[in-house]
Amino acid sequence: MPYLQTSKKSRALSTLLDIKSQKCGLRHTIFSVVGNEYTGEWQDNKKHGKGTQVWKKSGAIYHGEWKFGKPDGYGTYSVLIPETKELAKKYCGEWKHGKKHGYGMYLYNNSAVYEGEWSENHRSGWGRMYYESRDIYEGEWMKDKNHGQGIIRCANGNWYEGTWGEGKKNGIGKFYYSDKGQLYEGIWLDGVAKCGTLSDFGRNEAPTPSKCQIPQVRLVDMQLVLKESEEAYLETINSKFPLHNTLTEN
Could you tell me where the beta strands, DSSP code E, fall in 82-221?
A: 86-96, 99-107, 113-119, 122-130, 136-142, 145-153, 159-165, 168-177, 182-189, 192-200
d(CA 102, CA 106): 12
pLDDT in tens, 115-146: 999 999 999 999 999 999 999 999 999 999 99
Amino acid at 68: F
Model pLDDT, residue 250: 43
N-term to C-term CA, the chain: 87
d(CA 26, CA 83): 35
d(CA 44, CA 147): 42
222 vs 65, residue with greater confidence: 65
pLDDT at 149 exceeding the cut of 80:
yes
Q: Residue 169: beta bridge partners?
A: 164
Task: Look over the chain and give the mean of its residue pLDDT values, rounded to a whole number.
Answer: 85
**pLDDT band with cut points at 50, 70 and 90 for residue 26:** confident
d(CA 100, CA 106): 10
Model pLDDT, residue 46: 92
* SS3 state at 152: strand
Structural domain boundaries in the chain:
22-93
pTM higher than 0.75, yes or no?
yes
User: Average pLDDT in the 214-241 region?
Assistant: 65
* SS3 state at 232: helix
pLDDT in tens, 66-105: 999 999 999 999 999 988 889 999 999 999 999 999 999 9
User: Average pLDDT in the 140-162 region?
Assistant: 96
Cα 200 to Cα 7, 160, 183, 184, 205, distances in angstroms: 95, 16, 6, 9, 11
Q: Residue 136: beta bridge partners?
A: 130, 153
pLDDT at 18 exceeding the cut of 60:
no
Model pLDDT, residue 233: 63
